[in-house]
Chains A and B, each alone.
Chain A
Amino acid sequence: MNSGSSDRSPKCFLNQNWDRSVDHIGQFGSALGSFVSPQSSFELERGLQRIGHLGKEIPPQSHFMDSSGNSQALGGLVIAGNLALAHLDQLPADPGFAERAARFSSFDGQSYGWFSGHFELPGSGKPSTAAIIQSLTASGLQTGHSESNRQIPVSNGLQLKMNSAGPAISREETSLSDPTSASNGKKRKAPSKSKEKDAASPKPSTDPPKVADEEDSDTKRRRSSEKIHEIGIDNVKPKLEQNDGARSNGNDEQKQRKERNDRPSEPPKDYIHVRARRGQATDSHSLAERVRREKISQRMKLLQDLVPGCSKVTGKAVMLDEIINYVQSLQRQVEFLSMKLATVNPQLDFDNLANLRAEDMIQICGPVPNSAYSPEMSMVSSYADVPQHKDILRCIATNGMDFHCSMNMLDSTGHQDLNAHQACLGGFGDTSSQLGFFWEDGLQNIVQMGIGQDQEIVASSHNFHGGTSPAAQMKIEL
């Protein structure tokens, strides 16, 4: 294998159509076996098994009509290709090669980007493997499938007869540790949750930093389950990750879009991606982000308590839906009730309002017998019979009954009281506005009573006892 052949390999891939026959996979596996290094044999076997499964799943002449199928098939192919290529020492770290691959891979970002981001190649770090992957995928997508059995030559002479992998592979975790991460330089992947770029400070020991380093010839397979859902921003870049503690984060939060490394051998300058989920990001940006997120989750919890029926709902989207529905329903209720009140309003007359006052006075009289009341209040107390009193006290006793309580008390007043009230109120020089003030005064007391606090009662009675001054106060404040 010379560089020429390896150079050609992506082109070969590009020009080839994927073979769909299943049985070739076996050949491939066996052929590969001789090339794998021990440490990555495990991954290879896994990958091969997976591909084998896929092969079984797919009928020999299955057709993948949709591009997603294509991409998934390609994913399988690519993985296999990666496995093969990963251990090809002959593959040079060729920036040009990488760039070409990058270019090819940019053809279709969407579907294949998804899985292209998922594999991490085992074995020695080769810059080109990722490129090859992408080129494979690109080519696959570009050229579609052909019926014929084509063999995709591997640079080292392995014949890869791959069939298009089935959908299963796309669902599977295809995390192969990336051997080429070193030379692949900066691959940035969207961070798991919020697409923030957390570049770790040079202390990613707790986080699996995704750093492109050339030291990872013995990187193991990485957990990419978290990343599987993170295609997000950059579809094209494979996720390179290394958790054996490659430190070196020279660069930082800069979002790098470059596909391949331009500097294959620069460990200290590689980006380190820190997953915020690990909770160890130390730079100010991610800290602020985390704080913000915690605040948001706090608020969401509050809202969960407020909105009925939300305790079992999890997930922001569903919660927000519930919240929106609830707010809308409340606003509709306000409208509906205002319509109802508009119909009822003509029946709402002074009498009714006076009732409120009466109740209020009764309440005041009840718990605080010693207060000096206005003549009006004394008159009221004269007809405050025991049942009403009991009612009121009962209402007061119930906690949390604010409006209902007060309104019940309103109902219990009879007509006779009204006359008495009107007479009394006349004594206060009653105009409708003044009446309104007194009424409000009483009403507030009612509401306070409903809440059932003695102190409130005293205060309110005191206020009421103050006569016109609180009313005047209220008038001004109004």
Chain B
Amino acid sequence: MESKSFTTGNRDNPNTDLHGSKNMMASHFLRALFRIQQTSTSSSSFAGRSRRIRRAAYASMAYSAGARRAWSRALLRKLRSRARLRFPRRLSRTARPQRRDMDQAQVLRKLVPGGPSMDYCKLLEETADYIRCLTTQVRLMQTVMDSISSYAHHPMIP
């Protein structure tokens, strides 16, 4: 994606991939946030905005992973098709009475994008990457959140 030009300088870094993807994720997400902020008017609903932000979060996750991962490809497909991103919400509603391997794999398949079309082995692999990406995204969002809020509350006065 876009920051390929930047990551070229990072080749020597052993953590290139991770940092590169983090950069991508951060830039994409912040850009999206900026866009949302620009386009959202006072009349736009809070729910709509939050939904868009959430979609931007998942989009930046997917972009950062690129086409390397099955889950990111599935996620991008979902995003591009403009289908309503259906994320598992209110998961506690589903009481899982029987925790057996079968059910667990199925539940996991529902959680991870692209899950249903993977075999168990690949599912575990994709889950690992998905978790990595999710944690990065969550941390990014928290950081943005903190910076924005702290800036808003404590504007620096030189």
Contact = CB atoms under 8 A, between A and B. Distances in A.
Interface of A: 292, 295-296, 299-300, 302-303, 306-307, 316-317, 320-321, 323-324, 326-328, 330-335, 337-349, 352-353, 355-356, 383, 402-404, 406-408, 410-417, 432, 436, 439-440, 443-444, 447-448, 451, 453, 455-456, 458-460, 462-463, 470, 473-474, 477-478
Nearest to A327: B111
20 contacts: A292-B121, A324-B108, A327-B112, A330-B134, A341-B145, A342-B53, A346-B42, A353-B30, A403-B140, A406-B143, A412-B156, A436-B31, A436-B34, A443-B26, A443-B27, A455-B10, A458-B9, A459-B10, A477-B1, A477-B5
B144 A341 contact: yes
A80 to B, nearest CB: 36
Nearest to A343: B46
B117 interface: no
B130 A447 contact: no
Of B51, B135, B143, chain A has the most CB atoms within 10 Å of the CB of B143
Interface in B129-158: 130-132, 134-135, 137-152, 154-158
A333 B141 CA distance: 10
Contact of A299 (B5, B128, B135, B140): B128
B54 A474 contact: no
A331 to B, nearest CB: 6
A407 B141 CA distance: 11
Interface of B is mostly: helix
B46 A342 contact: yes
B97 interface: no
Of A317, A338, A352, chain B has the most CB atoms within 10 Å of the CB of A338
A328 B145 contact: no
A326 B154 CA distance: 34
A417 B104 CA distance: 53
Contacts of B27: 440, 443-444, 447
A473 B34 CA distance: 19
B49 A342 contact: yes
Nearest to B1: A477
Contacts of A302: 124-125, 128
A300 B124 contact: yes
Given A347-B152, A349-B37, A413-B156, A407 B146 contact: yes
Contacts of A331: 87-88, 111, 134
Nearest to B89: A335
B147 A410 contact: yes
B109 to A, nearest CB: 10
B51 to A, nearest CB: 8
B121 A341 contact: no
Contact of B101 (A306, A317, A415): A317
A323 B151 contact: no
Nearest to B3: A444
A344 B46 CA distance: 10
Contacts of B145: 337, 340-341, 344
A337 B152 CA distance: 17
A415 B151 CA distance: 11
Contacts of B155: 415
How big is the B interface, by class? 35 or more
A327 B127 contact: yes
A1 B120 CA distance: 57
Contacts of A340: 145
B23 A327 contact: no
A151 to B, nearest CB: 44
A261 B1 CA distance: 66
Given A317-B100, A455-B12, A459-B10, A327 B108 contact: yes
B142 to A, nearest CB: 6
A404 to B, nearest CB: 5
Given A326-B131, A327-B134, A330-B134, A403 B26 contact: yes
B104 to A, nearest CB: 4
A290 B105 CA distance: 20
B37 A415 contact: no
B150 A411 contact: yes
Contacts of A316: 101
B158 A320 contact: no
B138 A337 contact: yes
Contact of A440 (B8, B30, B50, B87): B30
B79 interface: no
Given A410-B151, A447-B26, A338 B57 contact: yes
A404 B150 CA distance: 12
Nearest to A355: B151
Contacts of A417: 158
A448 B19 contact: yes
Interface in B51-95: 51, 53-54, 56-58, 87-89, 91
B145 to A, nearest CB: 6
